[in-house]
Amino acid sequence: MDIVAIVLSLFLLVTFAYRGFSVILFAPIFALFAASFSGLPILPGYTELFMAKAVTYIKSFFPVFLLGAVFGKVMEETGMARSIAMETIKLIGKDKAVFAVVFACMILCYGGISMFVCAFAVYPFAAALFREADIPKRLIPACFVAGVFTATMDCYPGSPQIQNIIPTIYLGTTTFAAPILGLICGTLLIILCFIYLEFRRKQMARSGEGYGNHTLNETVIDPEASLPPWQLSIIPLIVVLVLNFYFSMIFQWDDALLEPFRAMNVPLLAKGVHNVVAIWALVLGLLAAIIIAAATGRKFMSKNTSVKAALNAGALGSLLAIMNTASEVGYGNVISSLPGFLEVADALLGIGQGMPLFNVALMVNILAGITGSASGGLSIALDIFGQHFLAETAAVGIPAEVVHRIAAMASGGMDSLPHNGAVITTLAICGLTHREAYKDMFAITLLKVVVAFFGVFFYMLTGIV
């Protein structure tokens, strides 16, 4: 009965999210619906299981969400994000339209700009380019997925995205964990994405399908629009990467920094400085980038906005983003605490007997799929199984940084089911429906799953970190 309740609860959550209902409201309702079948008291289940983990997630990662959203909004309102996107697409040209759109997204994502801002910045140019080249518009969301949800999100070392930050708290690693393994897997993934997208483009062309007659969210590029030079626009992105690397890998943090807070009996975010360095490094990088972007880009803002408005809008936007994810984390925590889930988890962990990295990739994928969130599923998996993963991998000589990289890559796999918030938002930005575009988005997701497991077996064969 527990398993049936879990499946029914997940089905209801997926259905409601798919139809646009807020997961902030309905995630706890459906989590407690499943819990009630196990005999758990509903109100204590809400306050002690759901809210406890949701609040812990907010405490751990709110600075990253807040500054990331503010940085993205400043880059958007100053026109800097659009400038980088336009220059990238112009440089590559319409003959390689698919590559141009994917690459523009990759640059913005790896520079610390959120998926939503990447999509908003690139979409107008992508739509114009695809219209001119007569490539079906329904392929644009898959290009966004390939550029934002794959290599630059959690494969490439140093990525400032939250999926690459989360493992540092649980594993004591840095965002540059397993750099060679990440580069190899990320590059393979991008190549596979390009092969698939080009295959689909040619297949659609052979069938006579062109851009199509669309009326929703059709944009017109104003050639006279005043945008900052791309050389100026890219500086804040470089600042994020450089400072993140410096404070993560070069700067020597004092191990005694947390001692005054231990004396206060304050509940600490991490056991030691090494567990929180990655967040501190990214906070410093984003703060510097926000200041530089606001100072150099303010003169390019339209008359209808200002630096103050951009800062305020970014701060407000971060609240919705983290509350959505925290609710998914709370939901996943309730489900993962039920006896039925624990029985299934034990059985799944037994599949990879003797292959602990396989278990890491499998459990993270499953929990990301259940929550519909890469960061939510990753947080739950590492919170519940993190020490188990570390003990199993350490017993066979696998370093924590490899666990970090495999877990991060796996999180961006099955999270992209139809109820995923990023999927829904991407389709809305493009003015398309699941029926029109989700098939190709899901295909890219499957490639991500394949590459995550490829990373497991590649490391087992080569030992390359």
Total domains present in the chain: 1
Q: What is the residue-wise DSSP string for 269-337?
A: SSSSHHHHHHHHHHHHHHHHHHHHHHHHHGGGS-TT--HHHHHHHHHHHHHHHHHHHHHHHHHHHHHHT
The domain of 167 spans 2-462
Tokens 């759901």 belong to residue: 50
**Residues whose CB is less than 8 angstroms from the CB of residue 75 and which lie 6 or more positions away in sequence, other chains included:** 81, 113, 117, 121, 233, 236, 293, 297
Encoded amino acid at 311, one letter: L
Burial of 284 (0-12, 13-18, 19+ CB in 10 A): middle
Give, for all 465 residues of the chain, the pLDDT tens digit. Answer: 678 898 899 889 888 887 778 889 999 999 999 999 888 899 999 999 999 989 988 988 999 999 999 999 999 899 999 899 889 988 888 789 999 999 999 999 999 998 888 988 899 889 988 988 999 999 999 999 999 999 999 999 999 999 999 999 999 999 999 999 999 999 999 999 999 999 999 999 999 999 988 766 666 555 556 789 999 999 999 999 999 999 999 999 988 888 888 888 777 777 788 888 999 999 999 999 999 999 999 999 888 889 999 999 999 989 988 998 899 889 988 988 888 888 888 887 777 677 899 999 999 998 898 888 899 889 989 988 999 999 999 999 999 999 999 999 999 888 888 878 788 889 988 999 888 999 999 999 999 999 999 999 999 999 999
**Residues whose CB is less than 8 angstroms from the CB of residue 397 and which lie 6 or more positions away in sequence, other chains included:** none
- Tell me: the pLDDT tens digits for 396-418? 999 999 999 999 999 988 888 88
How far apart (Å, rounded) are the C-alpha atoms in residues 170 and 155?
Answer: 18
- Identify whether the C-beta of residue 204 lies closer than 8 Å to the C-beta of residue 105: no
Torsion sign over Cα 122, 127, 130, 132: negative
